Amino acid sequence: MEDRTVWQVDAFTTSPFSGNPAGVVYPCDSLTAEEMLKISRELNNSETAFIQRLDGCDVQHIRFFTVKQEVPLCTHATVASYHVLSTKLGLKSGEYRMQCKAGLLPVSMESMPAHPRIRVTQKEGHFGPLLTEEQIMKLIEALQLKPASFYKDLPVQIVSTGNAKVMVGLKNKHELDALSLRREVLIALGEELGVPGFYLYTFDQADEQITAHTRMFSPGSGVEEDPVTGNAAGALALYLSRYTNRMPEGRASFMQGEAMGRQGVVSVIVNQLYATVLGQACTVFETHLLL
């Protein structure tokens, strides 16, 4: 039986029990994909990261699982992983590369005593199709809203920076906070689109520090609601950069998790079609896996 450590890490926050929790497992080298999935289910976070044993080079190999499936990239679990690599496994500040299912991605880390600053550059952004009128009607049914609830001048569109999401703008923060989903309708729409994740945003109650308030739903991938979502934040930043003037100097910050009582903030810098997500994290507990 190999000694493996499991950390529970809250990402996009420096305060425990806020932000987005992720499991981090090290090392994972002899674990099968089925075992990783079972561990993810046991931890029951939106995602769990599995780090291969460090080999002294500047590339870290990491896999990400929801409770239902492996996913190509999870940015909050990346932030959690590099927090553990820095504070627990001796990785020094500097420039690194992360090998994951989404490819080889740049990661930089500025070491600090408790909360290293971590930057993750996501894959080149891709703008997918706009939802059709029929698909938008299904979305309205799934969210139990009215057509007037949506921004008319901003398209409902699929955008990806490594893990595609549907960008959905709502005019009113109260409606965003009070959403009551018809989850089976949302799951069916996600299956039709080939994209299970829906990232909702509003400019209502935003200010100079917060570009938009957001929520993220992906019940089709086993994540009923994700507290604070780095992948989607990168995609939204690219989307806003294309369609709005709300990103001075190519920077944005998104507040998420308020409706879940797990508030966190994701900051993003956009350079053409690349989004770099900035975040910190904190360790909540450490234990050992008997497997």
Locate 151 and state its tokens.
């921004």
Hey, which residues are catalytic here? Answer: 47
Q: Report the candidate in 250, 270, 266, 271 with the shortest Cα–Cα distance to residue 78.
A: 266
Summarize pLDDT for 165-211 with one digit per residue, the tens.
999 999 999 999 999 999 999 999 999 999 999 999 999 999 999 99
DSSP 55: -
Residue count of the chain: 291
Supply the pLDDT for residue 114. Answer: 87
- pLDDT band at residue 112 under the 50/70/90 scheme: confident
Can you give the residue ranges of every domain in the chain? Answer: 4-121+279-289, 126-272
pLDDT band at 111 (very low <50, low <70, confident <90, very high): confident
> 20 pLDDT exceeds 90?
yes
Q: How far is CA 183 from the centre of its chain?
A: 20
For the segment 60-92, what is each residue's pLDDT rounded down to a tens digit?
Answer: 999 999 999 999 999 999 999 999 999 999 999
pLDDT at 70: 96
The kind and range of the H/E element at 167 are: strand 165-169
Q: Which two tokens stand for residue 148?
A: 């007037």
Name the CATH superfamily for 4-121+279-289: Diaminopimelate Epimerase; Chain A, domain 1 (3.10.310.10)
The C-alpha atoms of residue 213 and residue 205 are separated, in whole angstroms, by: 8
**Residue 37 DSSP label:** H
Average pLDDT over residues 155-169: 97
Place domain 126-272 in its CATH homologous superfamily. Answer: Diaminopimelate Epimerase; Chain A, domain 1 (3.10.310.10)
113 Cβ contact partners less than 8 Å away, ≥ 6 residues apart: none
pLDDT at 113 over 80: no
pLDDT for 2 equals 81
